[in-house]
Amino acid sequence: MSEQLFFNGINATTGEPLLPPIDSELLANLISKQERDAAQEKELTEWWNQYASPNAPQFMAAKEGTDYLDLSSAGWGVIFPYDADDGIIAALRPLLDWRKSQAGERYREYTGPEGYRYKPADGMFESKNDWLVRHGMGPGPADPEKVPYYLLLVGNPDTIPYRFQTQLDVQYAVGRIYFDTLEGYANYAKSVVAAEKEKLSLGKQAAFFGVANPDDQATNMSITQLVGPLAKKMPGETEGWQIESVLREQATKAELAGLLGGEKAPALLFTASHGMGFPNGHELQLSDQGGLLCQDWPGPNQWRKPIGKDFYFAADDLGEDANVHGLVAFVFACYGAGTPQMDEFSRIAFKRREAIAANNFVAKLPQCLLGHPKGGALAFIGHVERAWGYSFAWGKAGMQLAVFESALKRRRRGSVIRLEIEAAMPEGLRQLVAEALAVTPDVAEVRV
């Protein structure tokens, strides 16, 4: 028997789901008829076969012998657009010099001709393979002697596309930062260096924030099969850590404000909720898209009208005195990290591909968290485009939490954040859906 699929994300102007529910068999039929990128599919299939084999390593990674917690072994590099503003490079210099001192000979700065090349006027954007070939690297496990395993992209997704990031992430541990101001870059660099040199810690505290709006299938599934079970599992598996669960009726905007910079600020925050979606051109799209819809919203049956700011947490709700220095935020919500210009979900599921934004952009909330003037968060892990329930639930097989558990455990074991989120996506092709975990720390492994 086919199941009904419910999608995350709420239209802020109507209170309705961004996409209607759809029968799973119908969706599978629609997906099977989509055009495919043969070369891309071939490469990803080969990687998956290697990963799924009995002798595969724990994760797709660098060549044998690489120590992932030692940057002098794994390497660290930063990729700028070829025409990057010198002011941005200067603002990040404290962080770049710090990473160079850690990675030594395996530190790389890709700027100017070595950076990412794009010519949007001609519709030309460098592919992952083109960029790697220019730097002496082909397919296969990363070789830190040629290209560092850890790579930080610096720039907005119109200059370094989301697609390049997700393609590069097949082999490498990739993160991105982008800020609207030079001050944001400077604040981020200063925050990371200070946190590592001074061994800053918010204490061994983790908080799980889970919304379950009335009459809403998507959030009720995430509370029962994702954030709720994770919150129950963690206390028995976390020595010395204090675990706080803020679920269902407790998961209000006021409570989230306390976790995001208030007195309750934890070292690790995991949230699951709807992300706000605004129509292309809406005055609040750039500032509030991906804002976290809280328990205050009465649900789709009672509230089929524009959703007010009292119901969701957005960038302007983060106070100037917020205490977020040292925070790692893991946000399961549509558009939480960013938005592509073109609608990838509807193209795949419903054969409608249209512009959902004037341009690709990084969400404002992670920018404000990472670049906070009082001291920024160390990482924001979230979705570009929309979130699928298949990330944590797989039909009759039920909950699939192992990858989320692994990610959270690795966060506690060391300063290098290593994430393996194997989300079951249509066709298994992460680029098609563009569900990249895209706004991440400069040292990260992120897999979707």
DSSP at 58: S
Distance CA 241, CA 213 (A): 29
* Three-state DSSP state, 235: helix
Report which listed range, 25-29, 325-329, 350-354, is most confident. Answer: 325-329
Q: β-pairing, 338-339 with 361-362? A: antiparallel
Instruction: Report the percent of the chain where pLDDT is more than 90.
Output: 48
Choosing from 150, 170, 196, the residue where a domain stops is 196
* pLDDT at residue 374, rounded to an integer: 92
Look at 16-30, 374-388, 392-406 and tell me which has the smallest mean pLDDT: 392-406
Q: For residue 418, is it within any domain?
A: no
User: What average pLDDT does the chain have?
Assistant: 80
Same domain, 69 and 188: yes
* pLDDT at residue 335, rounded to an integer: 93
pTM value is: 0.83
Same domain, 10 and 60: no
* pLDDT at residue 88, rounded to an integer: 98
| CATH value at residue 178 | 3.40.50
Residue type, 244: E
pLDDT band at 440 (very low <50, low <70, confident <90, very high): very low
Q: Is pLDDT of 1 > 60?
A: no
* pLDDT at residue 388, rounded to an integer: 64
* pLDDT at residue 429, rounded to an integer: 26
Residue type, 91: A
Q: For residue 426, is it within any domain?
A: no
* Three-state DSSP state, 232: helix
Same domain, 147 and 209: no
Mean pLDDT of 52-60: 51
Choosing from 176, 196, 216, the residue where a domain stops is 196
Q: For residue 315, is it within any domain?
A: yes
Beta-bridge partners for 393:
399
366 HSE (CA, 13 A, CB side): 32
Same domain, 8 and 19: yes
Mean pLDDT of 353-381: 92
Distance CA 137, CA 115 (A): 15
Q: For residue 309, is it within any domain?
A: yes
Q: Is pLDDT of 36 > 50?
A: yes
The count of domains in the chain is 2
* Three-state DSSP state, 97: helix
Considering only residues 402 and 132, tell me which one the structure prediction assigns the higher pLDDT: 132
Same domain, 234 and 382: yes
* pLDDT at residue 14, rounded to an integer: 93
Distance CA 349, CA 337 (A): 22
Q: Is pLDDT of 61 > 80?
A: no
Q: For residue 448, is it within any domain?
A: no
* pLDDT at residue 443, rounded to an integer: 44
Same domain, 17 and 134: no
Q: For residue 384, is it within any domain?
A: yes
* Three-state DSSP state, 280: coil
Mean pLDDT of 30-34: 53
* pLDDT at residue 235, rounded to an integer: 63
Q: What is the pLDDT of residues 244-284, one digit of tens each?
A: 999 999 999 999 999 998 877 888 899 999 999 999 999 99
Choosing from 196, 224, 249, the residue where a domain stops is 196
Q: Is pLDDT of 120 > 90?
A: no
Considering only residues 233 and 270, tell me which one the structure prediction assigns the higher pLDDT: 270
How is 101-130 classified by DSSP, letter by letter? HHHGGGEEEE-GGGSB-EEGGGTEE--HHH
Residues 260, 251 contacting (CB under 8 angstroms):
no
DSSP at 317: G
Q: Is pLDDT of 52 > 90?
A: no
* pLDDT at residue 239, rounded to an integer: 65
Q: For residue 395, is it within any domain?
A: yes
* pLDDT at residue 448, rounded to an integer: 27
* pLDDT at residue 398, rounded to an integer: 59
Q: Write out the residue range of the structural domain in which residue 298 sits.
A: 4-35+203-402
Same domain, 176 and 227: no
Same domain, 327 and 283: yes
* pLDDT at residue 309, rounded to an integer: 96
* pLDDT at residue 141, rounded to an integer: 86
Same domain, 234 and 368: yes
Q: Is pLDDT of 55 > 60?
A: no
Q: For residue 427, is it within any domain?
A: no
Considering only residues 146 and 23, tell me which one the structure prediction assigns the higher pLDDT: 146
Q: What is the pLDDT of residues 129-168, one digit of tens each?
A: 999 999 999 877 899 999 999 999 999 999 999 989 988 9
Same domain, 133 and 50: yes
Same domain, 87 and 71: yes
* Three-state DSSP state, 354: coil
Q: What is the pLDDT of residues 156-201, one digit of tens each?
A: 999 999 989 988 988 898 999 999 999 999 999 999 999 888 876 6
Same domain, 161 and 298: no
Residues 21, 6 contacting (CB under 8 angstroms):
yes
Q: Is pLDDT of 383 > 90?
A: no
* pLDDT at residue 435, rounded to an integer: 29
Q: Which of 200, 317, 198 is nearest to 267 (CA)?
A: 200
